[in-house]
Chains A and B, each alone.
Chain A
Amino acid sequence: AQSVAQPEDQVNVAEGNPLTVKCTYSVSGNPYLFWYVQYPNRGLQFLLKYITGDNLVKGSYGFEAEFNKSQTSFHLKKPSALVSDSALYFCAVRDIKDTNAGKSTFGDGTTLTVKP
Chain B
Amino acid sequence: DVKVTQSSRYLVKRTGEKVFLECVQDMDHENMFWYRQDPGLGLRLIYFSYDVKMKEKGDIPEGYSVSREKKERFSLILESASTNQTSMYLCASSLDRGEYQPQHFGDGTRLSIL
Q: Which residue from chain A places its CB closest to the CB of B49 in the assembled complex?
A: A101
Are A43 and B42 interface neighbours, CB within 8 A? Answer: no
CA distance A9 to B35 in the complex (A): 20
User: B101 in the interface, Cβ–Cβ < 8 Å?
Assistant: yes
How many interface residues does A have (CB within 8 Å)? 26
With A43-B106, A45-B105, A101-B48: A90-B42 Cβ-Cβ less than 8 Å: yes
User: B90 in the interface, Cβ–Cβ < 8 Å?
Assistant: yes
Task: Name B80-114 residues within 8 Å CB distance of A.
Answer: 90, 92, 94-108
CA distance A102 to B99 in the complex (A): 5
Q: Which residue from chain A places its CB closest to the CB of B95 in the assembled complex?
A: A102
Q: Which of A34, A96, A103 contacts B102 (CB 8 A)?
A: A34
Q: How far is the CB of B53 from chain A (nearest CB, A)?
A: 14
CA distance A106 to B102 in the complex (A): 12
Are B50 and A101 interface neighbours, CB within 8 A? Answer: yes
Are B107 and A43 interface neighbours, CB within 8 A? Answer: yes
Are B31 and A101 interface neighbours, CB within 8 A? Answer: yes
How many interface residues does B have (CB within 8 Å)? 33
Q: Which residue from chain A places its CB closest to the CB of B9 in the assembled complex?
A: A41
Q: Which residue from chain A places its CB closest to the CB of B10 in the assembled complex?
A: A41
User: A108 in the interface, Cβ–Cβ < 8 Å?
Assistant: yes
Are A106 and B42 interface neighbours, CB within 8 A? Answer: yes
Are A102 and B98 interface neighbours, CB within 8 A? Answer: yes
CA distance A96 to B50 in the complex (A): 17
Q: How far is the CB of B109 from chain A (nearest CB, A)?
A: 10
Q: Which of B9, B90, B98, B103 contacts A104 (CB 8 A)?
A: B103
Contacts of A22 in B (CB 8 A): none
Task: Name A30-83 residues within 8 Å CB distance of B.
Answer: 32, 34, 36, 41-46, 49, 51
**Other CB < 8 Å A-B pairs besides A32-B99, A43-B108, A99-B97, 15 of them?**
A32-B100, A36-B105, A42-B108, A43-B4, A43-B106, A44-B90, A44-B92, A44-B103, A45-B105, A94-B99, A101-B50, A102-B31, A102-B97, A103-B33, A104-B103
